[in-house]
Amino acid sequence: MLITTMTDEEVTKEVKTDYQEIWSKRTIDRLVEGYEKQRRKFKIAKTDEYPVVQEFKSHRKNPWILIMRKSEKAEKYTKIGDTGFELVTYYYTPKGLRVFSYLEDQSMVVYNGHVFTRYRMRMGLQIESIIEVVKHFFKQTGNLVFDFYEEENPDSMFMGLTKEGYLFGTKKASVDWIIVKTFVNKETATLNQFEKEQDLQEMKQFFDVHIKAKERREVFYKDMLSLFREKFISVDGKVVPMDRNDNQINLMGGGIVK
């Protein structure tokens, strides 16, 4: 069970062990089977993503959230194998909520509670429960695209893209974590205002703290701005991807990791 006194290494081991036990007990298989039956029962269109959230507690007493939807690899949902899903768990540290998304390559995306507080505020959500905000976030995000500034740097910073906005954070190589620090929604950024927006100024300040060498800091920020402008255009004052396909946008050469 995840507890507040655990080290990062102990937390990593607990999440991975619990994840493997969940799979060995066919918990996911049963829930996915229920999802497939629900789609048939309610006659959900085969092209609809139809995200559904299911909560359960593992044998090790950890709370898990399963998000199921039509896999992006499937043009139409015709069989149970067309189900895409993501598993997340969470616990409370002395500093607050921490959420883990466990990836197939055995790395983990880690979200501190601040991310969901910011997400709720910036998306204008009237949801009081932070766990309900977490569920809403994962239902809405779909596939994430991450790009790391310095692949050879074990603690590189990254920018991530979701359907609704941008994620910023750092890697922590010692425990193979991708730590999301904050969320910026697309509605707040226009090309002309990119460097002036309060949210993105916060990100610049974040970079200033984490990139100590002034030359690297300036190059990184200019590259980020340049690549952003290559991939997006401004339409009616809003930023949209040039190809209008959010799931496939790749800001700096990274790949879809979930």
175 pLDDT above the threshold of 70: yes
Give the pLDDT band of residue 2 (cuts 50, 70, 90): very high
pTM: 0.73
Q: What is the pLDDT of residue 147?
A: 60
Q: Which two tokens stand for residue 148?
A: 């790391």
Average pLDDT rounded to a whole number, residues 193-198: 44
Q: Is 70 exceeded by the pLDDT of residue 68?
A: yes
> Using one digit for the tens of pLDDT, what is the confidence trace for 14-48?
999 999 999 888 889 999 999 999 999 999 999 99
- 84 or 107, which is more confident? 84
**Per-position b or e across 149-179, b if 16+ CB within 10 A of its CB:** beeeeeebbbbbbbebbbbbbbbbeebebbb
Type of residue numbered 137: F
Confidence band of 195 (pLDDT split at 50, 70, 90): very low
Predicted confidence (pLDDT) at residue 12 exceeds the cutoff of 50: yes
CA distances from 111 to 62, 67, 229 (A): 17, 16, 27
pLDDT score of 85 = 86
Query: Per-residue pLDDT for 61 more than 90?
Result: yes
The more confident residue out of 162 and 105 is 162
Which pLDDT band holds residue 172 (cuts at 50, 70, 90)?
confident
Report the alpha-carbon distance of residue 117 to residue 132 in Å, rounded. Answer: 11
Q: Which residues lie closer than 8 Å to 186 by C-beta, 6 or more apart? A: 164, 165, 166, 238, 239, 240
CB distance 131 to 90 below 8 Å: yes
Query: Half-sphere exposure of residue 128, counting CA atoms within 13 Å on the CB side?
Result: 0
Parse the chain into domains and list their residue ranges: 1-94, 109-258
At residue 3, what is the residue type?
Answer: I
Nearest 10 degrees: CA dihedral of 184, 185, 191, 193?
A: -70
Q: Tell me the pLDDT tens digit for each residue of 209-238.
A: 555 565 665 666 666 666 666 666 666 655
Mean pLDDT, rounded, of the chain: 78
- DSSP letter string over the chain? ---TT--HHHHHHHHHHHHHHHHHTTHHHHHHHHHHHHHHHTT--TT----EEEEEE-TTS-EEEEEEEE-TT-SS--SGGGEEEEEEEEEEETTEEEEEEE-TTS-EEEEEHHHHHHHHHHTT-----HHHHHHHHHHHH-S-EEEES-TTSTT-EEEEE-SSEEEEEEEETTTTEEEEEEEEEGGG--TTTTTT-HHHHHHHHHHHHH--SHHHHHHHHHHHHHHHHHHEEEETTEEEETTS-GGG--SSS-EE--
Q: Is the pLDDT of residue 154 over 60?
A: no
- Which has the higher per-residue pLDDT, 158 or 4? 4
